[in-house]
Amino acid sequence: MLTQAIKGVKDILPSDSAKWQRLEKTVRDLFSDYGFSEIRTPIIEHTVLFARSIGATSDIVEKEMYAFKDQGGDEITLRPEGTAGVVRAYTEHKLFASQPVTKVYYMGPMFRRERPQAGRLRQFHQIGVEAIGVSEPGIDVDVLAALTELFTRLDVHGVELHINSLGCRDCRALYKAALKDFLTRKIDSLCPDCQRRVDTNPLRALDCKSERCKAATSDAPMMSEYIDDNCRAHFESVKQGLDDLGIKYVVNPRMVRGLDYYTRTTFEMIAVDKKGAQNAVAAGGRYDGLVEEIGGPPTPGIGFAIGVERLLMMLPEAGKGASNPMVYIAAIGGEAERFGQKLANNLRKSGISAERDYSPGGLKNQMKKADRSGASLTVIIGEEEIASGAAILRDMKTREQSEVKLDKLAEEIRTRAKSL
Ligand code: HAM
């Protein structure tokens, strides 16, 4: 074999795509119920967009971006996430003027050069929403309601919604200074990454996975002690709104998120497995300064993205497999095959999926294939049937067979399909 797929980049085979399509359909219906329309932004953007919005000291920008110079010398990056591109599009097309409240959703591949493992890929997929233009806490509640409702509709359990407030730029600056002071005093107890980041991105020490940092920051000052009155009131209203809708959540003051654009409400939907290991299936938050950062007017925003591969691992298995045809046509002999080709085409044109064998063997062989295809009905037609003008129609579930006139076959199948 010349080469294989790139490490951490997966094919979605026909046996899996039905599951993806079901998820996508559920998501489209749900987002439409919550008032979001689809947006499709490019997979490549100018590198500066991500460097500025996600933050130069974030893990993504420091070490995970697929960034390259193209043939014309432009600095290009394969999008590592969807928010920056959506906000760029919102600003570039001046949606703040034509559609001040913009509620959009997107789905598609994202790229991060991470160490591949279960649930951590280099090309992965996100389904996300962004609501831009509303500062009131009601939109935070709506966005979180849509996220939790998705898990309900998909019948996925074992998740916890963790929320926190990171405050606004002003109160976070005070907090950052206090945290920096604290970490500087503990610098020798931190991991090398966090030691390096104390000056540039001290918050990351709070969600560092290393045991050293966990121990060293156990009594670190928390954002909640520094949050100003407006940000506190906003967070209280969000919690009140969630309580009013009966949405359960855990306030997690150590949740800081790895992207720099967040302000105020942040959250993660965490899957807790049987061994107690935690894994974010979805995450998001407010980014009230991002539109301005990208060159638009001061405009608030909030959204989330779901990791599709992680979510699919949690979906009940039901209905796995490639899509099944409604009818299998087992034709034996030249004339019967020609009839079969025409019948299949006729059925497909009226929206009935039909499958047949392109290099047909004997009847036994074709019946095996019909069985394996998962079809509900099978048409059996050979030279005898052509001669007598009637084919056999077999119900694959009940195994009942009946003779149907060739010119009535399509109509009979259409009638039966309605009740299947
Ligand atoms: P994020 O936390 O970087 O946020 O990613 C969101 C979700 O994408 C994660 O919770 C995870 O499920 C999935 N994910 C991330 N990296 C990988 C990977 N390498 N392999 C598989 N799944 C992965 C964002 O991307 C923000 N743009 C979310 C957002 C939208 N915030 C506001 N609006």
> Could you count the other beta carbons within 10 Å of the beta carbon of residue 154?
18
- Other CB atoms within a 10 A radius of the CB of residue 33 amount to 11
Choice from 78, 81, 90, 106 to test ligand 1 binding pocket (greatest atom count within 8 A of CB): 81
Number of residues assigned to the chain: 420
Nearest-CA residue for atom 16 of ligand 1? 120
DSSP-derived letter for residue 8 is T
Q: Which residues pair with 78 in a beta bridge?
A: 44, 66
* Percent of the chain surpassing pLDDT 90: 86
Is 233 in the same domain as 335? Answer: no
Per-residue pLDDT band at 346 (split at 50, 70, 90): very high
What is the model's pLDDT at position 337? 94
Do residues 147 and 90 both lie within one domain?
Answer: yes
145 located within any domain = yes
263 shares a domain with 152: yes
Nearest-angstrom CA–CA distance, 297 and 166: 22
33-52 mean pLDDT: 97
Task: Give the E-state strand segments of 138-262 in sequence order.
Answer: 159-165, 250-251
What is the distance in A from the centroid of ligand 1 to the CA of 225? 28
Tokens of 54: 């996600």
Average pLDDT over residues 396-410: 95
Nearest atom (ligand 1) to Cα of 128: 30
Domain of residue 378 covers 327-414
Which ligand 1 atom is the nearest neighbour of the CA of 122?
19
The pLDDT assigned to 319 comes to 53
Backbone angles phi and psi of 278, in degrees to 5 = -115, 145
- Is the model's pLDDT at 44 over the cut of 60? yes
CA 364, CA 118: separation in Å to the nearest integer? Answer: 42
Ligand 1 centroid to residue 31 C-alpha, Å: 18
Mean of all residue pLDDT scores within the chain: 94
Q: How many angstroms separate the CA atoms of 350 and 327, rounded?
A: 13
CA of 304 to the centre of ligand 1 (A): 8
Let me know whether 117 and 151 are in one domain: yes
Question: What are the structure tokens assigned to 92, written together?
Answer: 């570039």
Same domain, 347 and 401: yes
Shared domain for 259 and 121, answered yes or no, is yes
Ligand 1 geometric centre to CA of 94 (Å): 26
Closest by CA to 135, choosing from 240, 12, 233, 248, is 233
Amino acid 170: pLDDT: 93
Q: Which amino acid, one-letter code, is at 186?
A: K
Q: What is the DSSP letter of 61?
A: I
Phi and psi, residue 101, nearest 5°: -105, 110
Q: What's the gap in Å between 110 CA and the centre of ligand 1?
A: 9
CA of 53 to the centre of ligand 1 (A): 15
Cα distances from 74 to residues 35, 54, 67, 242, in angstroms, run 37, 20, 10, 45
Locus of tokens 């009839």: 339
Spacing, Cα 200 to ligand 1 middle (Å)? 22
Average pLDDT over residues 221-249: 97
Per-residue pLDDT, 36: 98
Indicate which residue's Cα is closest to atom 23 of ligand 1: 307
Indicate if 116 and 45 belong to the same structural domain. Answer: yes
Say how many Å lie between the CA of residue 338 and the centre of ligand 1: 52
Within this chain, do residues 77 and 33 fall inside the same structural domain, yes or no?
yes
Q: What pLDDT, on a 0 to 100 scale, did the predictor assign at position 420?
A: 79
Give the per-residue pLDDT at 3: 97
Q: Give the Cα separation of 355 and 330 in Å (integer).
A: 9
Q: What is the mean pLDDT of residues 190-219?
A: 91
Q: Of 324, 358, 327, nearest to 341 (Cα)?
A: 358
Phi, psi (degrees; rounded to nearest 5) at 49? -60, -50
Taking residue 301's Cβ as centre, other Cβ atoms within 10 Å add up to 25
| Alpha carbon nearest to ligand 1 atom 31, residue | 284
For residue 381, pLDDT over 90 is answered with yes
Does 88 map to a domain? Answer: yes
**Which protein residue has the closest C-alpha to ligand 1 atom 10?**
282
Residue to substitute in 59, 65, 124, 278 for testing ligand 1 pocket (most ligand atoms within 8 angstroms of CB) = 124
Output the residue whose Cα is nearest ligand 1's atom 21: 120
Q: For residues 287 and 347, state if they share a domain.
A: no
The CATH number of whichever domain residue 120 belongs to comes to 3.30.930.10
Does residue 373 contact residue 412 with C-beta atoms inside 8 Å?
no
pLDDT tens digits along 149-185: 999 999 999 999 999 999 999 999 999 999 999 999 9
Domain annotation covers residue 191: no
Task: Give the residue whose CA is nearest to atom 13 of ligand 1.
Answer: 307
Question: Which of 283, 314, 345 finishes a domain?
Answer: 314
The neighbouring-strand residues paired with 361 are none
User: Which class for 7: exposed (0-12), middle (13-18), buried (19 or more C-beta within 10 A)?
Assistant: exposed
Would you say residue 220 lies in a domain? no
pLDDT of 342 above 60: yes
User: Which region holds residue 333: left if phi is over 0, alpha if psi is between -120 and 50, else beta?
Assistant: left
**The two three-digit tokens of residue 142, written as one number:** 């709506």
Residue carrying structure tokens 């009942």? 400
Q: What is the domain-level CATH number for residue 365?
A: 3.40.50.800
Which residue bears the tokens 């059925």? 347
Q: Residues lining ligand 1, CB < 6 A?
A: 81-83, 112, 114, 119-121, 124, 126, 128, 130, 259, 280-285, 303-305, 307, 309-310
Mean pLDDT of 195-210: 89
Kindly give the distance from the C-alpha atom of residue 283 to the centroid of ligand 1, in angstroms, as a whole number. Answer: 6
Ligand 1 atom nearest to CA at 269: 10
Cα(267) to ligand 1 centroid in Å equals 12
Helix (H) or strand (E) holding 142: helix 137-153
**Mean pLDDT of the 44-58 span:** 95
Query: For the chain, what is the domain count?
Result: 2
Pair 302, 374 in one domain: no
Distance (Å) of CA 44 to CA 145, 151, 287: 31, 30, 22
Residues 268 and 343 in one domain: no
DSSP 303-368: EEEEEHHHHHHHS--TT-SSPPPSEEEEE-SHHHHHHHHHHHHHHHHTT--EEE-SS---HHHHHH
3-class DSSP state of 158: coil
Pairing of strands 354-356, 327-331: parallel
275 and 344 within one domain:
no
Q: Quote the pLDDT of residue 359.
A: 84
Do 220 and 183 touch, CB atoms closer than 8 A?
yes
User: Ligand 1: which of 110, 123, 257 to mutate, judged by most atoms within 8 Å of the beta carbon?
Assistant: 110
Specify burial of residue 305 (Cβ count, 10 A radius: 0-12, 13-18, 19+). buried
Query: What spacing in Å lies between the alpha carbon of 59 and ligand 1's midpoint?
Result: 13
Which phi and psi angles does 395 have, rounded to 5°?
-85, 115
| Nearest CA owner, ligand 1 atom 2 | 283
